[in-house]
Amino acid sequence: MVFEWFRRRSRQRKPAAVIGARAVVAHENRYDLGDLTPDTVSYLGQVAYFELAVFETLSRAVSESPDLSSKEGLSAVAGDALTKHHGVVAELRKLKVDPAIAMEPFAASIDRFKELTQGNDWLETLVSVYITGGFLDDFFQRIVGGLPRALAARVQALIEPDREAAIIVQQLQAAIDRQPAIASRLALFGRRLLGDALLLARNAIAGSGDKAHDEARMEPVFTDLIAAHSRRMDALGFTA
Amino acid sequence: MVFEWFRRRSRQRKPAAVIGARAVVAHENRYDLGDLTPDTVSYLGQVAYFELAVFETLSRAVSESPDLSSKEGLSAVAGDALTKHHGVVAELRKLKVDPAIAMEPFAASIDRFKELTQGNDWLETLVSVYITGGFLDDFFQRIVGGLPRALAARVQALIEPDREAAIIVQQLQAAIDRQPAIASRLALFGRRLLGDALLLARNAIAGSGDKAHDEARMEPVFTDLIAAHSRRMDALGFTA
C-alpha cells in the first residue's frame, strides 16, 4: 500500500520544501500504535546502535572529504550523530542497562543495512546519510508513543532529524553545480535507499503476530515518513 | 639534550602514576617562550587540524572495535577529540578566520604524522592515540603563553590532555591481561611514538632563526612533556 501511494505521489512535481521545518507530532501520540512500539530497552538499543552506525559512516566521509572545508563541515554532522548516540546511551545507563547488551540484538541487521546503503563513493555516502539517516531518525521519533512520556520527550528532542542536513545538502549541491551530469546517478541512488530504509523501519516494529494488520496500523506513519523523504529529495532537486 | 635526559630517566623504574592528575601550569606562563609561540591563527589552525586527525584515527578504531562495549567506549573518546576540534574552530570563527584556511598549512605534515603513527592493528592504534594524542595536547596546552590571555585559558580548558585516557588504558589493559605476550610489542611501539610526537611538536614552534637557542629555550617544556609521557607509559605497565 505504501508503495502504491509512493509511486502515485512521485509523479507529481512539487516546489522544493524547506527541510527540518516539519512539526514534531509523534509525542502527541496521534499514531495509535499500541503494542507495536518496541519495549523501552529494545527501542533505545536500536536507536543507539543506529546512531553509532550513522556516526561511523559519517566519520569515513570526514576522512574521505576532498577538501578541508567539507571535512570540517561533515565533522559537525558526525558530531551530531555521536551526540544522539551518547544521549540514548545515557538513557540506557539511567535505566541501569549496559548499552552494549541493549545494542547487541540489533548490531547484525544495522551493520548489514550500513553496508547495503553506504554507496560507491563519497557523494553517494553523503546522499545515503542524508536520506536514510533522516528517514530513520524521523521514524524513531514517530514511534515513541509507547515509551514513558518523559523519556519519549527527551528522546524526541535528542534525535531530531535533519538538524545538520543543510551541511550535507550544501556539499551535494556544490558537487552537482560543478558536475551536473552526476545528478541523475545520485537521484537514482537516493530513490533506491527508500526501500532499505523502509525495511529497517518495518523490522524495528514489535509485531503483533498479524502482519497485515500491523502494516495497516503503521500506514499513517509510513505515509508521513515518505512525505518527509520526498521533501529531502526535493531539497536536492531530485524527483522522489 | 632531551634525548639524553630521556634515556637516563627511562632506566629507572617508577611506580605506576595516576594519569591526568598533573596540574595545569602553562597558563601561569612559567615557560619563557616569547616569540617561539606561533601566532594565534597558526596556533589554532594546527591544534584544530591535529584534533581532527585524532578524531579520524579514533573513528577508525571505533569501526574496528572487536566488541560493542569497546565501540561504545571509544566513541566517547572520539567525541572528546571532536569537541576539542569544534571548540578550536569556534575560536577561529570568533576571529573571523575561515577554519579551512587556518588549518591548510598544517594538513600535509599532520596527515603524514597520522600515517606514520597509526599502528598496524587496533591495539597499536589505541596506544598511538593515547601516547601521541596525550603528548601533543599536553604540548599545545603548554605553549599558550604567547596567546591573548583569555583565549589561552579557554584553549587550555578545552584541550585538557588525557581526559578520556582511562577508557583507552582500560581497553589496552584488558587486551594485555588476555594475551600478556603482546605487551612487549605494544611497549616498543609506544616508545617509538615519542620521536614522532617530539618532531611534530618541534616543528610547531615558530623558530627565531637560531635553532640551538630555540631548543635550549624549549628544553623545560620538553622535559615536562617527556615526564608526562613516561607517566602514560607507566599507566600501561610499560617502561618508557
Q: CA–CA distance from A46 to each of A13, A201, B140, B166, B227 (Å)? A: 35, 11, 39, 27, 44
C-alpha–C-alpha distance, residues B188 and B191, integer Å: 5
Which residue of chain B is at minimal alpha-carbon distance from A106?
A: B68
**B102-121: per-residue pLDDT in tens?**
999 999 999 999 999 999 99
Is the separation of the CB atoms in B37 and B123 below 8 Å? Answer: no
- pLDDT of B154 strictly over 90: yes
Per-residue confidence (pLDDT) for residue B25, from 0 to 100? 42
- pLDDT of B226 strictly over 80: yes
The percentage of chain B sitting over the pLDDT mark of 70, rounded to a whole number, equals 85
In chain A, residues with a C-beta closer than 8 Å to the C-beta of B105 are none
Q: Does A90 touch chain B (CB under 8 A)?
A: no
- pLDDT of B85 strictly over 80: yes
pLDDT band at B194 (very low <50, low <70, confident <90, very high): very high
Q: Does A114 touch chain B (CB under 8 A)?
A: no
Per-residue confidence (pLDDT) for residue B36, from 0 to 100? 76
Return the exposure string of B23-34: e unless at least 16 CB atoms fall within 10 Å of the residue's CB, then b.
eeebbeeebebe
**Residue in B65, B75, B101 to test binding to A, most A beta-carbons within 10 Å:** B75
C-alpha–C-alpha distance, residues B144 and B139, integer Å: 9
Which residue of chain A is at minimal alpha-carbon distance from B76?
A: A86
**A107-141: per-residue pLDDT in tens?**
999 999 999 999 999 999 999 999 999 999 999 99
pLDDT band at B34 (very low <50, low <70, confident <90, very high): low
**Residue in B47, B58, B72, B109 to test binding to A, most A beta-carbons within 10 Å:** B72
Q: CA–CA distance from A130 to each of A81, A91, B15, B36, B239 (Å)? A: 12, 25, 51, 44, 47
- pLDDT of A189 strictly over 90: yes
pLDDT band at B32 (very low <50, low <70, confident <90, very high): low
Q: Does B76 touch chain A (CB under 8 A)?
A: yes
**B52, B78, B79 ranked by CB distance to A71: nearest:** B52
Q: Does B86 touch chain A (CB under 8 A)?
A: yes
Per-residue confidence (pLDDT) for residue B205, from 0 to 100? 83
Q: Does A84 touch chain B (CB under 8 A)?
A: no
The 8 Å CB, 24+ separation contacts for A39-44 are: A39/A206, A40/A95, A40/A147, A40/A148, A40/A151, A41/A92, A41/A95, A41/A97, A41/A102, A42/A102, A42/A105, A42/A106, A42/A206, A43/A140, A43/A143, A43/A144, A43/A147, A44/A88, A44/A91, A44/A92, A44/A95, A44/A97, A44/A102, A44/A155
Q: CA–CA distance from B114 to each of A53, A187, B117, B222 (Å)? A: 24, 35, 5, 21
pLDDT band at B30 (very low <50, low <70, confident <90, very high): low
Per-residue confidence (pLDDT) for residue A30, from 0 to 100? 59
Per-residue confidence (pLDDT) for residue B145, from 0 to 100? 84
**B52, B68, B79 ranked by CB distance to A100: nearest:** B68
Would you tell me which residues 91-110 of chain B have a C-beta closer than 8 angstroms to some C-beta of chain A? Answer: 98-100, 103-104, 107
In chain B, residues with a C-beta closer than 8 Å to the C-beta of A68 are 49, 99-100, 103-104, 107
Would you tell me which residues 165-184 of chain B have a C-beta closer than 8 angstroms to some C-beta of chain A? Answer: none
**A63, A71, A100 ranked by CB distance to B69: nearest:** A100
Is B107's CB within 8 Å of A68's CB? Answer: yes
C-alpha–C-alpha distance, residues B46 and B204, integer Å: 8
Mean model confidence pLDDT for chain B: 86
Is B55's CB within 8 Å of A59's CB? Answer: yes
pLDDT band at A145 (very low <50, low <70, confident <90, very high): confident
- pLDDT of A183 strictly over 90: yes
**B49, B68, B107 ranked by CB distance to A103: nearest:** B68
Per-residue confidence (pLDDT) for residue A91, from 0 to 100? 97
Is the separation of the CB atoms in A229 and A240 below 8 Å? Answer: yes
pLDDT band at B216 (very low <50, low <70, confident <90, very high): confident
pLDDT band at A34 (very low <50, low <70, confident <90, very high): low
Per-residue confidence (pLDDT) for residue B7, from 0 to 100? 38
What is residue A104's three-state secondary structure? helix
Residue type, A143: I
pLDDT band at B37 (very low <50, low <70, confident <90, very high): confident
What pTM value is reported for the model? 0.82
Which residue of chain B is at minimal alpha-carbon distance from A104?
A: B68
Cell of B143: 605553549
Per-residue confidence (pLDDT) for residue B228, from 0 to 100? 95
The percentage of chain B sitting over the pLDDT mark of 90, rounded to a whole number, equals 71
pLDDT band at A56 (very low <50, low <70, confident <90, very high): very high
Segment A38-55 shows an average pLDDT of: 95
In chain A, residues with a C-beta closer than 8 Å to the C-beta of B85 are 75
**B78, B83, B89 ranked by CB distance to A72: nearest:** B89
In chain A, residues with a C-beta closer than 8 Å to the C-beta of B79 are 79, 82-83, 86
**B62, B72, B100 ranked by CB distance to A67: nearest:** B100
Within a 13 Å sphere around the CA of A7, how many CA atoms are in the beta-carbon half? 3
Q: Does A52 touch chain B (CB under 8 A)?
A: yes
Is B75's CB within 8 Å of A83's CB? Answer: no
- pLDDT of A3 strictly over 60: no
Which residue of chain A is at minimal alpha-carbon distance from B48?
A: A72
